Amino acid sequence: MRKNLISFDDVTKEEMQEILDITQYIKDKQKRGELYEPLKKKTLGLIFQKPSTRTRVSFDAGMFQLGGKAIILNLADLQLSRGESIEDTARVLSRYMDGMVIRGEHRFLAGLAKNSTIPVINGLTEKFHPCQILSDLFTIKERGMEPKGLKVVFVGDGNNVCQSLMQGAAKFGMNMVFTGPEGYEPDGKILKQTVAEAKKNGGSIKIEYDPEKAVREADVIYTDTWVSMGQEKEEAARVKAFRLFQVNAKLLKKAKQDCMIMHCLPAHRGQEITSEVLDGKQSVVWDQAENRLHTQKAVLMLWLSK
């Protein structure tokens, strides 16, 4: 494996498949109650600029279950908060730990990664959320669905989750459609790259501004919050802009009868998704959340072990 996991640009499809295979192996062992501790005496630093539930708990618990130790590093408790440079911080932490997970600004993550000699894993930035999408791909495969040729529709904001989903979809030859209001599309450069890669792998990445057209024949409908962290001042404008892009029973009827519903959480019930759909029989949201633990254990095993 390569040194860092910042986005799916850092890994091949084959490496991603290896992560999914190891995830299954690790999850099966845990379900059988078998002890599995390949990361004994390994230490992982968790640095958070932004609030976190699933990322923080799954990496912390996962490191413990693999026999290692996680250290939560809040920025307010580090000398970074008093002016120490990112470069100096990275050099020092590299001598104490075996890897780091960063959840924060992409620029901050890139600075730490550039100056670290240990693996740096993206736990979420405003650009990408690769660990979430690894969990989603595993959830899809766990349900007996092969990613290649699958139609996945992302409804909402072209945010970090959407952009990582585009990268993952492109590598696996999926047919992904983004649907959201004009002005909230994914980054143009990422769109161009993923369109080309998807075509090479037998898939496609498209934009459709009509949500009902977008979800026709959809195998998976995926949504996320309309207001990401740091966008709270835009909430009123965003809720107005996205009002026609709610995942609800009416929209679900336009997709395949057995269409799967996905959400990375946290969900704002009544905004991007209704409770009826989130808690409905087609929802795999809670499996997605659980699988964050198992996929992140696979990433830790591959990135931190020899």
Q: Is there a catalytic annotation at residue 132?
A: yes
CA 45, CA 130: separation in Å to the nearest integer? 18
DSSP count for the chain of H helices, then E strands: 12, 9
Catalytic hit among 49, 98, 103, 163? 103
Please state, in angstroms and as integers, the Cα–Cα distance from residue 136 to each residue in 17, 34, 82, 152, 293, following that order: 13, 25, 38, 11, 12
Question: What DSSP character marks residue 78?
Answer: S
Six-digit token pair at 194?
């993923």
Q: Which helix (H) or strand (E) holds 69?
A: strand 69-74
Six-digit token pair at 221?
């409908």
Q: Is there a catalytic annotation at residue 264?
A: yes
Catalytic hit among 54, 129, 238, 294? 129
Evaluate whether 283 touches 15 at the Cβ level (below 8 Å): no
The pairing of strands 175-179 and 151-155 is parallel
Give 256-301 as a 3 state SS string.
CCCCEEEECCCCCECCCECHHHHCCCCECHHHHHHHHHHHHHHHHH
Catalytic hit among 98, 136, 157, 224? 224
Q: Is there a catalytic annotation at residue 103?
A: yes
Catalytic hit among 49, 132, 163, 288? 132
Q: Is there a catalytic annotation at residue 296?
A: no
CA 35, CA 32: separation in Å to the nearest integer? 9
Report the candidate in 304, 251, 306 with the shortest Cα–Cα distance to residue 98: 304
Evaluate whether 145 touches 213 at the Cβ level (below 8 Å): no
Provide the annotated active-site residues. 103, 129, 132, 224, 264, 292
